[in-house]
Amino acid sequence: MTDPGKASGAAPAPSARVDGAAQQPADRAAGAPAADGASRSLPLPGPPYGSTTPEHDRRIRSYVLRQGRITNAQQRAHDALLPQFGVPYRAGLLDAHDVFGRTAPLIMEIGFGMGEGTAQIAQAHPENDYLGIEVHNPGVGSLLDRIGRLALTNVRIVQHDAVEVVRDMIAPDRLAGVHVFFPDPWHKKRHHKRRLLQAPFVSLLASRIAPGGYLHVATDWADYAQQVLAVLGAEPLLVNTVEQYAPRPAYRPLTRFEQRGVRLGHEVFDLVFRRRAAAA
Ligand SMILES: C[S@@+](CC[C@H](N)C(=O)[O-])C[C@H]1O[C@@H](n2cnc3c(N)ncnc32)[C@H](O)[C@@H]1O
């Protein structure tokens, strides 16, 4: 279900760059979030590449940046490997061929957490390239540590708000797939507005998926699953691959968030939608 396509077979580039931009740590890139414990409110001016609706002007505060504890290994990996595997955020389209050093199906993961699932999937599917988006320092350090230990060549990281990355760096019809596994549920009713998967962002995201590509969301919060089912179902560019919820695709490993949910007695819901060729 990862839609493995055919890779060019060319060797991956040793460093990750965007459209020839000078390499710099993501936390020093323009607009990059600082780990200062502040809750972030990101302005969403109209996207420069299509899908412009006034609703994109709304702000989604889907995450809170806490200082958090970073282990020595995560910090070491962050310092040593971000220059190689990090792609600084910038308001310019990502050149995936330049970044990965080859042409391969590009799958984006939003909010990879500690990256254990990302690393497992990337290792199991060397034919695909994976672009992980995450704001949290320990998580980015953790995935970089896994990339180093597993010698993965098909993963790159943008440490920045996913809404801005999708809007500014991803061209329309570009992605073979998108993974959003266990997005923050913001389960209190008054916080529902902070949920990432709402109609304006879903519409933007769908426009970045290639016709035939897929959007896979998993959550262990039943009411969020229902909301996502409704929002994805109402998006003209997307069509459900099944009646409602899909069986867990074999490529999706269990992550610690999922294990915690299962321990709490939560059911897990997978939603797998396809991008249509054109709006119905
Ligand atoms: C509940 S965790 C799930 C992590 C992982 N997918 C898993 O299943 O273990 C959600 C993650 O999404 C990240 N996140 C939330 N909103 C984000 C945004 N707008 N851009 C990038 N990352 C975001 C958070 O930092 C957090 O690590």
Taking the centre of ligand 1 as the mean of its atom positions, its distance from the CA of residue 134, in whole angstroms, is: 6
Taking the centre of ligand 1 as the mean of its atom positions, its distance from the CA of residue 162, in whole angstroms, is: 9
Pocket test for ligand 1, best of 39, 184, 198, 216 (most atoms within 8 A of CB): 184
Query: Is residue 218 helix, strand or coil?
Result: strand
pLDDT (tens digit, 9 = 90+) per residue, 38-53?
333 333 333 333 333 4
Q: Does 260 score more than 50 pLDDT?
A: yes
248 by Cβ neighbours in 10 Å (0-12 / 13-18 / 19+) ranks as middle
Q: Which of 145, 161, 184, 220 is catalytic?
A: 184
Residue 175, both tokens: 């992605």
Confidence tier at 275 by pLDDT (50, 70, 90): very high
CATH topology of domain 26-275: Rossmann fold (3.40.50)
pTM score above 0.85: no
Q: DSSP characters for 74-128?
A: HHHHHHHHHHHHB----SS---HHHHHSS---EEEEE--TTSHHHHHHHHH-TTS
Q: Does 78 score more than 70 pLDDT?
A: yes
Q: What pLDDT is attached to residue 57?
A: 41
**Whole-angstrom Cα distance, residue 87 to residue 161?**
13
**Whole-angstrom Cα distance, residue 48 to residue 169?**
10
The percentage of the chain sitting over the pLDDT mark of 70, rounded to a whole number, equals: 78
Q: What pLDDT is attached to residue 157?
A: 98
Report CA Rg, the chain.
Answer: 17
Taking the centre of ligand 1 as the mean of its atom positions, its distance from the CA of residue 182, in whole angstroms, is: 7
Q: What pLDDT is attached to residue 40?
A: 33
Task: Give Dmax over CA atoms of the chain in angstroms.
Answer: 51
Residue 210, both tokens: 């290639």
Nearest CA to ligand 1 atom 1: 184
184 in catalytic set: yes
Single-letter amino acid, residue 34: A
Nearest CA to ligand 1 atom 15: 63
Residue 234, both tokens: 């109402």
Residue 171, both tokens: 């061209």
Nearest CA to ligand 1 atom 14: 111
N-term to C-term CA, the chain: 24
With a Cβ cut-off of 6 Å, ligand 1 is lined by 62-63, 110-113, 117, 133-136, 139, 161-163, 181-184, 196, 255-257
Mean of all residue pLDDT scores within the chain? 82
Q: List the 269-275 sheet strands across, edge first.
A: 155-158, 129-133, 106-110, 175-181, 209-219, 269-275, 238-240
- The domain spans of the chain are 26-275
Residue spans of beta strands (DSSP E) within the chain = 106-110, 129-133, 155-158, 175-181, 209-219, 238-240, 269-275
**Whole-angstrom Cα distance, residue 98 to residue 131?**
13
